[in-house]
């Protein structure tokens, strides 16, 4: 087994959550033998329609047709929210999830769950093991199979344990007794490379992710199980990085209320088992965790907060300025620069930091003329956002280049200069590639010309960014490629 962060570091926990439902990463397909039987095929169709679970369908097929193991696992690009897996709501919950996050792709006849947001329960600082669990365990086999499983000791070492057999005595046979909970027996160190059960495919990895789904009512969490060690390790690592960056708490929401984390699937090469149980290597869809924030920006803001927030004003190092470049903040609620900039703060998913003390220098006549024109035209805030994003927070100390560009905009666009700067500010808010956005707008929406098309630019950009900057970038690039 390949080494992974999850296999080496994740310790088992006793923390329990109330489970409100399960999201499956795959589904079941019917075998050729069962498909040729009309009764078995009809029962399988009921399971596909959500009228009964695959386990119940297997039992009915065995009773009606005496066909054992009529189904086999099938990897799919989409997730599955089966009605029988929903402890709260059943079919209504399953339908609601598809209504909110279902998509139709390619030859789909109905919406499928390709990608959806997740919100994680608030756990203790730096304690992810209650949200992401994983380990090795013997799966399948008959009633006589000993269920070995991995467990972690307090020192972090991994051992193989099992529950001892229940020994019946004459005394226990004659009267009702209260059974004492069996304690796991340590078999020895858990070393997959030397394990007979693991080599025969009996002992397998199983990972569990626990989360809420926005818009779905219910008191319990949803669980997602995966047999991919690599996928579980990557999810654990991404959550760990986000939690460490944000002071021991997961940043579930951006400042404007959008979910940070989304579950999707990626296509990778993996070992899988066919219908006969034979191991093969091929491409499979495995779950992955996407993030709608950029951690380098959050880390930069966090560093600025620690370096530039002395206990008193006199303790601030000379020559330092706590200004934050607006292009490093991914939020639709950006700060607005006023004459009293020292009191402003910038929102981030992890908290706030000061936005600077510098004020516009009104001693320079061209700059003062630009400022007055912007205030009279009602676009002073957008001018400030654009200038900070383009030239940095100290642009007001040397405003000549800003004024020159502004004058060129006024000559070309006239009264539409405010709308153009508003468009530029939107690009900065979402930290998008300036060249990519302009190329997309000119190609797809139309050329700028006199500026009358700029409001359509702004509306189109906001629609593209409804699901985050990364999604907007992918959409624009894909359409330009086409």
DSSP per-residue letters across 76-107: EEEEE--GGGBTTTTHHHHHHHHHHH-B--TT
Mean per-residue pLDDT pooled into runs of 10, the chain (482 residues): 44 61 88 85 84 84 82 87 86 90 87 92 72 76 76 79 74 56 83 82 82 84 85 84 81 82 86 62 85 74 53 38 36 35 41 37 63 83 81 78 83 83 82 83 84 86 81 80 74
Cα(450)–Cα(32) distance, rounded to whole angstroms? 66
Cα separation, 42 vs 49, whole angstroms = 11
Measure the CA–CA gap between 408 and 406, rounded to whole angstroms.
5
Q: Are residues 145 and 226 in the same domain?
A: yes
Asked if residue 280 and residue 386 are part of one domain, the reply reads: no
What's residue 222's pLDDT?
92
The whole-angstrom separation of Cα 260 and Cα 212 is 13
| Whether residue 282 is found in the same domain as residue 351 | no
**389 and 285 in a common domain:** no
Is residue 62 in some structural domain? no
How would you class 445 by CB atoms within 10 Å of its CB: exposed for 0-12, middle for 13-18, buried for 19 or more?
A: middle
Residues 358 and 284 in one domain: no
Three-class SS state of 245 = helix
Q: With respect to residue 79, please indicate whether it lies within any of the assigned structural domains.
A: yes
What dihedral do alpha carbons 284, 289, 5, 223 form, nearest 10°? -90
Spell out a b/e string for 87-98, using b for 16 or more CB atoms within 10 Å of the CB, else e.
bebeeebbbbbe
pLDDT of residue 414: 81
Residues 284, 341, single domain; the answer is no
Q: Are 357 and 351 in contact (CB under 8 A)?
A: no
Q: How buried is 290 (Cβ within 10 angstroms: 0-12 exposed, 13-18 middle, 19+ buried)? A: middle
Q: Which domain holds residue 278?
A: 5-31+70-158+179-292
Residue pair 202/139 in contact by the 8 Å Cβ criterion: yes
Return the half-sphere exposure (C-beta side, CA atoms, 13 A cut-off) of residue 161.
15
- Identify whether 459 is part of a domain: no
Distances, alpha carbon 401 to alpha carbons 373, 395, 397, 408, 431, in Å = 17, 9, 11, 11, 22
Predicted pLDDT at 113: 93
Residues 270 and 362 occupy one common structural domain: no
User: Does the reported pTM lie above 0.85?
Assistant: no
Give 164's DSSP letter. P
| CA dist., res. 333 & res. 335, Å (int) | 7
Using CA atoms, how far residue 408 sits from 395, 413, 466, 470, in Å, is 18, 9, 32, 32
Strands across the sheet containing 71-80: 71-80, 19-30, 221-226, 203-211, 132-138, 149-152, 158-162, 185-189
Structure tokens at 38: 């009309």
Rounded CA separation 400/412 (Å): 19
Residues 194 and 257 in one domain: yes
**474 located within any domain:** no
Residue at 256 is within a domain: yes
The number of domains in the chain is: 2
Do the Cβ atoms of 159 and 182 come closer than 8 Å? no
Element (H, E) at 430: none
> Do 138 and 190 sit in the same domain of this protein?
yes
In a domain, 340, yes or no: yes
46 domain-assigned: no
Which of helix, strand or coil describes residue 282?
strand
Does 426 map to a domain? yes
What pLDDT, on the 0 to 100 scale, is given for residue 213?
92
139 with 87, same domain: the answer is yes
Q: Are 258 and 314 in contact (CB under 8 A)?
A: no
CA distance 220 to 223: 10
In 3D space, the residue among 124, 352, 344, 327 whose CA is nearest the CA of residue 255 turns out to be: 352
Least Cα distance to 222 among 454, 19, 412, 409 occurs for 19
Do residue 113 and residue 23 come from a single domain?
yes
């Amino acid at each position: 087994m390949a080494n992974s962060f999850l296999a080496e570091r994740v310790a088992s926990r006793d923390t329990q959550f109330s489970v409100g439902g399960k999201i499956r990463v795959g589904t079941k397909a019917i075998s050729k033998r069962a498909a040729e039987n009309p009764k078995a095929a009809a029962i399988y169709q009921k399971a596909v329609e959500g009228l009964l679970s695959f386990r119940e369908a297997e039992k009915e097929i065995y009773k009606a047709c005496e066909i054992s193991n009529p189904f086999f696992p099938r990897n799919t690009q989409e997730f599955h929210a089966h009605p029988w897996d929903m402890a709260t709501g059943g079919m209504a919950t399953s339908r609601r999830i598809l209504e909110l996050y279902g998509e139709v792709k390619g030859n789909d006849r109905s919406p499928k769950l390709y990608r959806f947001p997740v919100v994680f329960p608030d756990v203790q600082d730096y304690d992810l093991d209650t949200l992401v669990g994983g380990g090795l365990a013997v799966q399948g086999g008959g009633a006589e199979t000993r269920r070995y499983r991995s467990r972690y000791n307090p020192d972090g070492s991994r051992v193989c344990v099992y529950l001892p057999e229940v020994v019946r005595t004459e005394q226990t046979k004659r009267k009702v007794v209260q059974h004492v909970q069996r304690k796991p027996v340590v078999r020895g160190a858990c070393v997959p490379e030397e394990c007979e059960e693991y080599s025969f495919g009996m002992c397998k990895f199983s990972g569990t992710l626990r989360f809420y789904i926005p818009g779905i009512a219910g008191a319990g969490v949803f669980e997602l199980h995966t047999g991919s060690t690599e996928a579980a390790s990557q999810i654990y690592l991404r959550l760990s990085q986000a939690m460490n960056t944000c002071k021991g708490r997961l940043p579930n929401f951006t400042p404007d209320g959008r979910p940070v984390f989304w579950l999707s699937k990626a296509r990778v090469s993996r070992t899988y088992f066919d219908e006969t149980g034979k191991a093969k290597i091929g491409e499979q869809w495995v779950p992955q965790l996407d993030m709608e924030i950029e951690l380098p920006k959050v880390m930069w803001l966090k560093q600025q907060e620690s370096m530039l927030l002395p206990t008193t004003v006199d303790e601030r190092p000379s020559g330092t300025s706590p200004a934050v470049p607006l292009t490093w903040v991914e939020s639709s609620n950006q700060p607005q620069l006023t004459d009293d900039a020292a009191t402003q703060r910038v929102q981030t998913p992890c908290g706030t930091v000061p936005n600077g003390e510098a004020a516009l220098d009104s001693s320079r006549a061209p700059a003062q003329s630009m400022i007055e024109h912007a205030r009279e035209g009602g676009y002073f805030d957008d001018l400030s956002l654009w200038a900070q994003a383009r030239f940095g927070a100290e642009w007001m100390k040397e405003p000549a280049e800003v004024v020159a560009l502004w004058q060129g905009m006024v000559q070309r666009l006239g009264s539409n200069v405010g709308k153009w700067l508003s468009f530029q500010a939107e690009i900065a808010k979402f930290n998008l590639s300036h060249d990519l956005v302009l190329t997309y707008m000119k190609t797809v929406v139309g050329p700028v010309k006199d500026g009358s098309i700029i409001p359509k630019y702004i509306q189109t950009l906001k629609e593209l960014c409804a699901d985050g900057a990364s999604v907007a970038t992918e959409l624009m690039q894909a359409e330009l490629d086409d």
